Every structure is written in C-alpha cells, then in structure tokens.
Amino acid sequence: MMCGRRILAGAAVVAAFVAGCSDQQTLPMARRDGNVAYANGNYELARQKYQDVVDRNRHNAEDKYNLGLSLMGLERYQEAHEQFRQAYELAPKNQEYFAELCESMYATGQIDKLFASIRSRLRDKSDSADALLLAEYAQRIGALDEAVQALEQAIKLDAGESADPYVAQATFFRSIGDTEKELKSLRVVLSFDLENETVNARIRELGQIPGPSLAITPEPIGSD
C-alpha cells in the first residue's frame, strides 16, 4: 500500500508540472507581449516577459537587447549594461547593440571605458556611425573640440553617402549657438533631401528660403 501511495503522489506531481507547463507562453507570444508592454511604457511587464524569454533562450542577442532596453526604462542601468554586453558579444557587428551598450556605460559612469570602446571600434571598423557616437558623447561631457573633430571624421568616413553626419553637425552647431555653421550644414542636407520639412523649417527660422538654389554639395574628401 505504501508503494502505491508513492506512485500516486508521484503521478500527481507530474500532472501538476505538465499543467503548469501548458500555461507557459510560447517564446513568440512572450516576445510579442514584451514588445507591446515596452511600446506602452510598461517597462516592468516588458522586463518580466523578456526575462522569461532570455531564461529559456540564452543565446539570442535580440532577446538580451530587448531585456536591456526594458531595464534601462526601469533605470536599472547596471543590469541593463550586462544584457547589452552579452548581446553585443553575440552580435558584434550590430550598431544598435553597441549604441545601447555605450548608453549603459554612460548611465553607469563608465566614461573612460565608454570612450575607449568607441575609439577601439572606430579604429577597427572606420565607420561613420561610430564617429557620430564619439561626437555625441564628447558633447555630452563638454569636450566640444573633440566633438567637432569627431563630426568631421564622420563626414569623411561617410564619404557623401548620406545626410546623417551633416544633420548631426547642424544639431551640434545649433546647440552651441553657431548659426552660421549650422546653416552651412543644413544647406548640405538639402543636397540630399530638398523635402525634409524639419530642415526646411529650421532654415526659414534662420531667415533663409529653402530650395534647390540654397543647397550646396558636400565638399570633396580631403579639402580644407
């Protein structure tokens, strides 16, 4: 009889375990709910959903990245840093993962490490996106000369492929009140996109009329 009771008790435990598993969301459903919660600003619910996904799928960079984003929303910066670090190690070519890793380093006060990481990646990849990151953080700590140099480096590395470095440059000059240089950068942006309403509105604020005649082409690489 004792043996029979043990078997029945064991069967009850198995049944309860199976029932519990049947209530667990699939990974796609948990990701979806996490995404919805994050989009709605419910970072704690998003964290719970993403944590569940990461616990069951530990080698997916995007899942760790999403968990990191939710932790940043909760101002749990050190934990977020660890998730971004792992995501970046799994996918070192991903610019978004690196950008958020940098933001988590900034949030946790790892300023020297932040700049060393950007400079190292910039040396290895020579990517304008990394030069723009360097410019952004240089400006945020008040290193304005370095920010200017990094923006110029971004422009050279981009080699006229996009307006992004000039938009960043215009934003920087606006922040320090240099409207003459800001306008020059905005005029270059027009050569890429004449219909950019944000740029056109700012040009009007500066007393100019946007249009093809105001646009200027990027200066050749290596020019003064």
Q: What is the pLDDT of residue 221?
A: 58
Going by the DSSP 8-state scheme, the letter that residue 163 receives in this structure is: S
Q: Cβ(163)–Cβ(189) under 8 Å?
A: yes
Work out the number of other CB atoms within 10 angstroms of the CB of residue 1: 5
- Amino acid making up residue 158: D
Q: Cβ(121)–Cβ(139) under 8 Å?
A: no
CA–CA distance, 20 with 16 (Å, rounded to integer): 6
Q: How far is CA 54 from the centre of its chain?
A: 19
97-121 confidence digits (pLDDT tens): 999 999 999 999 999 999 999 999 9
CA–CA distance, 43 with 76 (Å, rounded to integer): 11
Question: HSE (CB half, 13 Å, CA atoms) of 211?
Answer: 3
Tell me which of 3.20.20.450, 3.50.50.100, 1.25.40.10, 3.40.640.10 is the CATH number of domain 27-92: 1.25.40.10
Domain-wise residue ranges, the chain: 27-92
Q: Give me the average pLDDT of each 10-residue run along the chain (224 residues).
A: 43 41 80 97 98 96 98 98 98 97 98 98 96 98 98 96 96 97 97 95 97 90 50
Tell me the DSSP string of 93-108.
Answer: T-HHHHHHHHHHHHHT
- Amino acid making up residue 198: T
Q: What is the pLDDT of residue 208?
A: 96
Q: What is the pLDDT of residue 216?
A: 95
Q: Cβ(79)–Cβ(107) under 8 Å?
A: no
Q: What is the pLDDT of residue 22?
A: 45
- Quote the tokens at residue 80: 């977020």
CA–CA distance, 27 with 66 (Å, rounded to integer): 13
Residue 159 region, left (φ>0) first, then alpha (ψ -120 to 50), else beta?
left
Q: What is the pLDDT of residue 120?
A: 97
Name the residue with tokens 């530990």. 58
